[in-house]
């Protein structure tokens, strides 16, 4: 059972606690921030729409959580091919306090064969983003493994710090099959980029499946907040419930 507690602590430390409904109030943001730290330690990041970033920063400062990132999404969720608008969106988010950017890849344009245009988009967005850039491929829309692999390679070639599965807004969210392709592509490029599983993750069992996949492909020592994340809103509750059901409190991560 001790392994379950250790896994719970690990999962919490890798979690981008997310609220992207579009209807969040200040009270909702405050409640989200309050969940950032608990009996299993603190999460890796809080991910909200850019307009809420100043409120997140206020809460993190008040709570003394300097190790929690303030993340936001751009070009979300449609993944349009408009580099100027998206680069401006990135700069505006940085001005509001973003320390990480989750950028939706122009997956429709990529599927249309406009690879050169997509590459230009990615280069411009990377130039506008001096912080960690997580590229959301929307793997459920790309569908085929060879297409997911090609998109992954393009994103990494253009400087993506992370490959992320999904927006959580499409019909198909994260899948182990897509994750395997993305992780294998990261491995073939030396394992320096990270991976984020996002969309449809609700239980600790869901999270463990992706952790074990990453450890199988890149090794157990590879996984950490700088290389692996979960994006979810409800996952934290299940992880804490599993830990509490074991009859012992989590230890805070080192």
Class of domain 2-245: alpha beta
Candidates 16, 134, 164, 206; catalytic one: 164
**Domain residue ranges of the chain, discontinuous segments joined by +:** 2-245
Distances (CA, A) of 94 to 77, 114, 223: 19, 29, 27
164 catalytic? Reply is yes
pLDDT tens digits, one per residue of 168-214: 999 999 999 999 999 999 999 999 999 999 999 999 999 999 999 99
pLDDT tens digits, one per residue of 3-60: 888 999 999 999 999 999 999 999 999 999 999 999 999 999 999 999 999 999 999 9
Question: What is the C-alpha separation between 28 and 154, in angstroms, rounded?
Answer: 37
102 catalytic? Reply is yes
134 catalytic? Reply is no
Candidates 16, 102, 161, 206; catalytic one: 102
Q: Label residue 252 by pLDDT band (50, 70, 90).
A: very low
The predicted model gives 94-117 an average pLDDT of 98
Distances (CA, A) of 125 to 97, 131, 247: 17, 11, 47
Could you tell me where the beta strands, DSSP code E, fall in 125-247?
132-136, 162-164, 194-198, 228-232
pLDDT at 253: 40
């Amino acid at each position: 059972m001790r392994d379950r507690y250790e896994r719970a602590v690990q999962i919490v430390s890798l979690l981008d606690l997310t609220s992207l409904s579009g209807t969040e109030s200040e009270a909702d943001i405050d409640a989200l921030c309050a969940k950032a730290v608990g009996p299993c330690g603190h999460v890796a990041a809080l991910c909200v729409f850019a307009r809420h970033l100043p409120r997140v920063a206020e809460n993190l400062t008040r709570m003394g959580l300097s190790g929690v990132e303030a993340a936001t999404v751009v070009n979300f969720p449609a993944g349009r091919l408009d580099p100027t608008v998206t680069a401006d969106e990135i700069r505006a988010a940085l001005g509001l306090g973003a320390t990480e950017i989750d950028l939706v890849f122009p997956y429709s344009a990529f599927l249309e064969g406009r690879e050169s245009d997509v590459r230009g988009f990615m280069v411009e967005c990377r130039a506008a983003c001096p912080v960690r850039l997580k590229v959301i491929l929307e793997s459920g829309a790309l569908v085929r493994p060879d297409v997911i692999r090609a998109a992954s390679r393009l994103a990494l070639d253009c400087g993506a710090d992370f490959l992320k599965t999904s927006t959580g807004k499409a019909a198909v969210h994260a899948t182990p099959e897509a994750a395997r392709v993305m992780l294998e592509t990261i491995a073939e490029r030396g394992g320096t980029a990270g991976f984020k599983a996002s969309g449809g993750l609700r239980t600790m069992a869901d999270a463990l499946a992706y952790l074990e996949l990453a450890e199988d492909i890149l090794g157990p020592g590879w996984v950490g907040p700088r290389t692996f994340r979960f994006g979810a809103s409800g996952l934290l509750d299940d992880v804490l419930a599993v830990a509490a059901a074991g009859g012992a409190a989590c230890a805070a991560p080192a």
